[in-house]
Amino acid sequence: MTDDHWPTDDGTAPRALSEAEGQWLLRRARATIEAAVRGGSAESVDPSSLPSALREPRGVFVTLTQSGCLRGCIGHIFAREPLWQAVADAARAAALRDPRFPPVRPEETAVLHIEVSVLTQPQPLAFASPEDLLARLRPGRDGVVLHLPHGRMATFLPQVWTQIPNKEDFLAHLAAKAGGAPSDWRLPGTRIETYEVQAFEEAAQPPGV
């Protein structure tokens, strides 16, 4: 990896990432994938050389597409580890362990498109009824964590609104993803959390690392 000159920061609470930081995360994701599909590991990183924003624990998802079609998407809603490490772990898992797809083959990496979504901390969304929930959701902005009464949960990133712009359809698909019936989001005891993302994606032609 190349050296990067980072903007200074004071090590306080997580802030919005700079474009340079986002591009570094993309390069880290790609390096991790290209090494992992060949059974290796990406070049090690000295965390002390990174800005505090990349060392803060953050929720993150890595999404892989190929010719516009989903090829893998794995991540963590809640912060578990430093962002730089979380991106590497999610990238490796998206390439090799997404149960919906076979593992990415080495020859596929040249045509993979990578997107990294860094999450804000999910916050409970209070609502009085299913209709009130629909009124409070913000399409295109809210990532949604759905907790069904029987203990199952699932999330959709805000980017999913572009595919499912209708709020009822969005929640129905999310309930089905959680293993429930499409109407289960209407059940008493359902809980909702929302978050936002800062997304970074590669150019149309994946850059070299």
- For the stretch 119-147, pLDDT in tens is 999 999 999 999 999 999 999 999 999 99
What is the structure's pLDDT at 203?
Answer: 87
Structure tokens at 23: 């591009």
Domain 123-195 = CATH 3.30.1490.150: yes
User: Would you say 120 and 195 are in contact if contact means Cβ atoms under 8 Å apart?
Assistant: yes
Share of the chain above pLDDT 90, in %: 87
Kindly provide the residue ranges of all beta strands, DSSP E only, lying in the chain, ordered along the sequence. Answer: 59-66, 69-76, 112-119, 123-124, 143-147, 153-156, 191-195, 197-201
- 195: buried, middle or exposed (CB in 10 Å: 19+, 13-18, 0-12)? buried
The Cβ of residue 88 has, within 10 Å, a number of other Cβ atoms equal to 25
- The pLDDT-based confidence of 5 (bands split at 50, 70, 90) is very low
Q: In the predicted model, what is the mean pLDDT of residues 62-79?
A: 96
Q: Is the pLDDT of residue 4 over 90?
A: no
Domains 19-119 and 123-195 belong to one CATH topology: no
**CATH of span 19-119:** 3.30.700.20
Q: In the predicted model, what is the mean pLDDT of residues 96-111?
A: 96
Q: Give the dihedral sign, CA 18/69/138/93.
A: negative
What is the structure's pLDDT at 14?
Answer: 65
DSSP secondary structure string for all residues of 63-106:
EEEETTEEEEEEEESS--SBHHHHHHHHHHHHHHT-TTSPPPPG
Q: Is the pLDDT of residue 109 over 50?
A: yes
Range of weakest confidence among 5-9, 61-65, 180-184: 5-9
For all residues of the chain together, what is the average pLDDT?
Answer: 91
Q: In the predicted model, what is the mean pLDDT of residues 179-184?
A: 97
The Cβ of residue 50 has, within 10 Å, a number of other Cβ atoms equal to 17
Range of weakest confidence among 1-15, 128-142, 146-160: 1-15
Residue 24: which of 55, 48, 68, 54 has the closest Cα?
Answer: 54
pTM of the predicted model as reported, rounded to 2 decimal places = 0.87
Backbone region of residue 73 per phi and psi (left: phi > 0; alpha: psi in -120 to 50; beta: other values): beta
Q: Is the pLDDT of residue 204 over 90?
A: no
- 12: buried, middle or exposed (CB in 10 Å: 19+, 13-18, 0-12)? exposed
How far is Cα 63 from Cα 113, in angstroms, rounded to an integer? 8
What is the structure's pLDDT at 205?
Answer: 55
Domain ranges of the chain: 19-119, 123-195
